[in-house]
Chains A and B, each alone.
Chain A
Amino acid sequence: MSYIPCEKLKKRRVVTSHDVFCASHCAMDVALEELWRLDDVNVFVLGVGECAFYSGKVVFEPPRINRSYTLTDREIVFGDMSAAAAALADVCANGLTTVCLVTCVPSVMNPDMTPLEEIKGAVVVKTPDFEGISPYDIMGKVYKSLLKMTDGPKSGTAFWDGRETSLAALRKKLSAATHIVNNRDFLPALSEIGGVNVIDNVNIHGIDFYNENAAALGLDKARLRRAAEIACRIAEKRKPVTVMGRSAYGVAAFLRSLGADVRAVCFADYNAVSYLACRNLGNVAVSLDYADPPPDGTTLLDYSSADGELAGKNGFDKLCAALNHTEKSCL
């Protein structure tokens, strides 16, 4: 691959040659492991043999249930979901919310899921592996179906970083007036909530965003000032730059907000969120391969050696870490 205009990015998995991976997760597997952490949900995987085999390896403590349903040829041909619905109702009978993960084959069939959706306590989500850019993208959709806004008075602040261990606790947070989103899995669910203040601290934003939300995010003013200083030094050189490293699209947004001339970004964490971020950035060339030579005439700001450190951070912390490394290695 080489650098391409961000408008030409494709919303699909990026592979360097053939789509060959060794032991990579599938979307169902990602969702299952995430849901395993919530101690008040059952999981019901609707799919074919391999889906049942793999999901069965995750052990749920009783009374929680992790069960799978293997579709037969007849059910696939005729789209008959009645037996699957009966099995799902069985699982739901223990009173816990049951997430029905619909895997690749049934998603291709596009069957009428009403009989399953109508079961009390059941939440049906189509989670075909081929849908997202990364298998982790599916969690946005799963949480969107689990977290529906409730009416009633709103007060206080909720932090969404995924440390909750029950669905009940997650749902309880929905009554907050301000939602600070630190984990991209929650972004699709929360970004649709109206009438409350949702602060997206998953993506990296421009300086105005941080000035405006410094108090809500509890930002250390000194750190913000330092980040701005580094960005200003890059801008003052008046040279076009290529930003390279994890979440380069976000770092680029911040640099631009302080006047830097960012022409290109290069990063490896390609997923539904970074796809959108690149499109929103606009007017930038994108590469997803660190081996690509940066576009002619640009200075390379490469902090990719810190990718591992950045992986565990979100929003502002990620920005600061990226800029510190850039300062050390490129300025």
Chain B
Amino acid sequence: MKRIAFYGKGGIGKSTTVSNLAAALARKGFSVFQFGCDPKADSTINHHGGKRMDTVLDVMRRGDDNDEAGFIYKSPLGVYCLEAGGPLPGTGCAGRGIISAFEKVDELKIYEKYKPDFVLYDVLGDVVCGGFAMPIRNGYADQLYIVTSGEMMSLYAADNIARAVKNVGKTGYAVLKGLILNKKNIEGEDELTRKAAEEMGTKVVFTIPRDKTVQAAEALGKTVVEAFPDSEMSRLYMKLAEMVAL
């Protein structure tokens, strides 16, 4: 089982990238979990026709959390989806919420039961408190990729995340594998990102162009890999899957 976390600034394309990667890995015959760790709980919606699913915390709040039936969904391509969820904005403690959701998944021994080949964590990138560092610091993810564009704010967030795991090789800490550049088509984007990566002591390991196919698939409530399997973008996500699977 390979467990990989994806971090990055809000709106940068983490969920799009992770969903398509999950779909691509599933198409290659792997068993994949996609675990959304953003209180917005919209990581996996394009596996379900754009519909929101009940989250781990929704189910915990109701109290029917004796098994995972209420919060694990299998997509048509076979991706197992779950969302941590969170309290209403401005109430409770979202950081503790993430931790509680992780503990629930541990308690129910979900990975032992499903034995997935891949677990992909799609995590809110503005690491506001310790709760959101849970996946990369507490032994849940082995590897970390940071999704970014060439925009300053996005690179700034990337740098903060990179710092959170700087202690490479420390037990329980994920290893930073590199940046995934999800382009916003700003001037000199490749070069800017390459330089920023260098300063963070890492590399740009994959580049995804901005492409209308993404929106077209989204309109159908699907990933590109599911909706347009023969498109150029779909081929690219398959390549990303190959890289990640290595």
Contacts and interface: CB of A to CB of B under 8 A. Distances in A.
Interface of A: 73-74, 76-80, 108-109, 111-112
Interface stretch (B74-82, B87-95, B156-164, B173-181): B87-95
B96 A111 contact: no
A109 B100 contact: no
Interface in B49-92: 57, 60-61, 86-88, 91-92
A202 to B, nearest CB: 38
The 10 closest A-B pairs by CB, nearest first: A79-B92, A79-B91, A77-B97, A78-B92, A78-B87, A109-B93, A77-B96, A77-B100, A77-B92, A76-B96
Interface in B91-107: 91-93, 96-97, 100
Nearest to B94: A77
B100 A73 contact: yes
Given A73-B96, A76-B96, A77-B97, A111 B60 contact: no
Contacts of A77: 57, 60, 86-87, 92-93, 96-97, 100
A168 B93 CA distance: 38
B81 to A, nearest CB: 21
B184 to A, nearest CB: 34
5 contacts: A74-B60, A74-B61, A77-B93, A79-B88, A79-B92
Contacts of B87: 77-79
Contacts of A78: 57, 61, 87-88, 91-92, 97
For the residues of A in contact with B, the DSSP-based class is helix
Contacts of A112: 91
A101 B86 CA distance: 27
Nearest to A75: B92
A79 to B, nearest CB: 3
Contacts of B60: 74, 77
Nearest to A106: B93
Contacts of B93: 76-77, 79, 108-109
B54 to A, nearest CB: 15
A111 B57 CA distance: 18
Given A73-B100, A77-B86, A77-B96, 7 more contacts: A74-B60, A74-B61, A77-B60, A77-B87, A77-B93, A77-B100, A78-B92
A112 B89 CA distance: 12
- Max chain B CB contacts within 10 Å: which of A76, A77, A108? A77
Contacts of A79: 87-88, 91-93
A138 to B, nearest CB: 23
Contacts of A76: 92-93, 96
Interface in B129-165: none
Nearest to A112: B91
A109 B60 CA distance: 19
A74 B58 CA distance: 11
Contacts of A108: 93
A269 B100 CA distance: 42
Nearest to B61: A78
A73 B60 CA distance: 10
